[in-house]
Amino acid sequence: MEKIIFYILALIMIVFAFASVSSRKMLRSVIYLLFVLIGIAGIYFLIDYNFLAAIQLTVYAGGIIVLIIFSVLLVHHIEMELEMAKLFKKLLTGLVCLIGLGVFLATIYSTNFIVVENFKTTTVDEIGMGLLNYEAGGFILPFEVISILLLAAMIGAIIIGKGDKLTKNDDTL
Amino acid sequence: MIAGISIYEIFTLTSILFFIGIYGFTTRKNLISILISLELILNASAINFVVINKYLYPDVLQGVFFSIFIIAVAAAETALAVAIIINLYRQISSVEVKDTEIMKY
């Protein structure tokens, strides 16, 4: 049963990922990306990391996609078609990507992974205890650094987004 | 772990997603499309962290923390990129890569 679900999810993700990078309509390409992200959340559900799947759905599907859709609507006409690369360039890039994929797969399939059989479920409080643990192996420092990074990104986005107006106001004062 | 699915099949899936992202990153000529391809690349690597954690080292949670950090950094990066794109559009009325000659004003 889980096997069939995984294959269906994999098929959906690959088809929509390809549609997302080759569609000529901007908004459709964003919606195809949304399907890929939901498929990734499905994979997280399948391997029993429910908290991560919830984060993926809220932050990516709920936050980032909406942000990208807003920016598309602000800078494009809906019917506008995108300029594409030349066919020769596309074929060349596709060939290089296929060679890279071949190298990746050859390396992966020639490595012998020591898989530990387990069906554990991770609870949210285990993740929370790990993130706030300040002993060896704890993640309190990166956690704090990420919070500073998010604050800095927020202030930076406001200042860049405001652009001209902030400096002009300074001049008049 | 997923019953009946080996680690190789999941790695195959993530490698394909990663290279589709790289393909889009190099062939697209629009800043927003490049951002979309970047999301694909970041997500493929985040799945890899989680899967390696689950299949090879089920007793620790390091891979989960790293994917949480990847998601946080991706969110910050997208917010900044969208701000830059909108500001650029206000100044040169275009988001094509070939028109983006000056970003300093």
Q: State yes or no: pLDDT of B30 exceeds 80.
A: yes
> Does A52 sit within 8 Å of B67, measured CB to CB?
yes
CATH of domain A1-87: 1.20.120.1200
In-domain check, residue B2? no
Q: State yes or no: pLDDT of A84 exceeds 80.
A: no
Q: State yes or no: pLDDT of A114 exceeds 50.
A: yes
Average pLDDT on A71-84 reads 76
Sign of CA dihedral B29, A155, A62, B74: positive
Q: Residue B73 maps to which CATH number?
A: 1.10.287.3510
ipTM of the complex: 0.90
Average pLDDT on A17-42 reads 91
Helices A2-22 and B31-56 sit at what angle, rounded to 10 degrees?
160
Q: State yes or no: pLDDT of B29 exceeds 80.
A: yes
Q: Is B105 helix (H, G, I), strand (E, B) or coil?
A: coil
Domain parsing of chain A, residue ranges: 1-87, 123-173
Number of domains in chain B: 1
Beta bridge partners of B96: B30
CA–CA min distance A2, chain B (Å): 6
Please tell me the predicted confidence (pLDDT) of residue A168: 56
Residues of chain B contacting A68 with CB distance shorter than 8 Å = 32, 35-36, 78, 82
Residues of chain B contacting A83 with CB distance shorter than 8 Å = 29-30, 96
In-domain check, residue B104? no
In-domain check, residue B105? no
Count Cβ atoms below 10 Å from residue B72 Cβ, excluding itself: 19
